[in-house]
Homo-oligomer: A and B are copies of this chain.
């Protein structure tokens, strides 16, 4: 792989604390590939042969059953996905496709499991990473079970707003149909939810949103750190 990408990977929490030689082992076994947009990288049900790391671009995790489909999450650089399947040596529970041209690092599962045995620090990092993933899904599950569609959207907007520096403006990181699926609703309903939020100072212009009354929006959204904070 290109050496200019290595420091990025190394700086990931997951790989930061492990020994140099073990890191090298992993990287030498890994493949770095660039994929075109809309390519299905993995399909749910397939055995987990690789741990994936998104270096550039964007990857959508989604699930299908019985003809229906739903976006389960989005992975941006530098992030990993399907760690749990790799560690359990099980099949993937989610499919993944690129949202745009993307550079992806693929680390063979065996090597991950092998180094996990050898490297104390890596093992600890994996546990922390896994626990974080777990807690993220629990929060998403709470979000879906305890809130209406409008509330989910309002809280999501507040999150993006904070992420992007609380300037009163924000940009949606994905297109609206993906956002809708992520929030568990149809595109039509998302559009209507935006209209519902208009009286709370939410002004939509394409994928640029301005929040003219964050107070009012927060009163409606009632954000809860045990659902909305990513780092608790």
Contact = CB atoms under 8 A, between A and B. Distances in A.
A141 B142 contact: no
B147 A65 contact: yes
B87 A138 contact: no
B127 A90 contact: no
A135 B65 contact: no
A72 interface: yes
Each complex incorporates copies of this chain amounting to 2
A123 B151 CA distance: 39
Interface string A90-132: 1101100000000000000000000011001001101110111
A142 B93 CA distance: 9
Assign chain A's interface to a size class. 35 or more
Given A137-B134, A141-B140, A145-B70, A128 B65 contact: no
A174 interface: no
A193 interface: no
Contacts of A224: 65-66
A68 interface: yes
B130 A72 contact: no
14 contacts: A63-B226, A65-B147, A65-B227, A66-B147, A66-B224, A70-B145, A72-B145, A84-B131, A84-B135, A88-B132, A93-B139, A127-B127, A130-B131, A133-B134
Interface of A: 44-45, 63-66, 68-70, 72, 83-85, 87-88, 90-91, 93-94, 116-117, 120, 123-124, 126-128, 130-135, 137-142, 144-147, 151, 184, 222, 224, 226-227, 232
5 closest pairs, A vs B, by CB? A84-B131, A134-B134, A70-B145, A137-B137, A130-B130
